[in-house]
A = this chain, B = another copy of it.
Amino acid sequence: MHYFTISDLAHEFDVSTRTIRYYEERGLLSPIRTESGQRLYTKKERAKLKLILRGKRFGFSLDEIHEMIALFDEDRTGKKQLEKTVEYGRRKLKEVDERIEDLLQLKAEMEALLSDFEKRLCEWEESGG
């Protein structure tokens, strides 16, 4: 299996190494270490970082993202655990759905604004321009 160094990930996702270490401080990432103490990231850790950054783009706090990532990490042996996980997942999914709805609304508003401006621009060109 192949591992990523911290700067591999930093370059790939265009974040600082400090940021990646900070996410570890906050318990969002847990890379393994070489004998000398350097961090090595598996594909799974990489996937987690990807999810963190995606979450951030939508204004989720690191605490919220932490909860989401728990879906990756928890050992979901046991039925109870699994049920809890699924229920939490459904809730979060609903939140995401609401955000999409909200964004579509924003888009519609902006489009209305834009088409109004464009109309005015046309009028301008027809009459005086």
Residues of chain A having any CB pair with chain B under 8 Å: 51, 54-60, 71, 76, 79, 82-83, 85-86, 89-90, 92-93, 96-97, 99-100, 102-107, 109-111, 113-114, 117-118, 120-121, 124-125, 129
Contacts and interface: CB of A to CB of B under 8 A. Distances in A.
B76 A106 contact: no
A96 B82 CA distance: 35
The prevalent SS among residues of A at the interface is helix
Most buried by B among A97, A109, A114, A129: A114
Contact of A58 (B54, B58, B83, B97): B58
B93 A97 contact: no
Contacts of A100: 100, 103-104, 107
Contacts of A114: 86, 89-90, 93
A71 B118 CA distance: 13
A71 B124 CA distance: 18
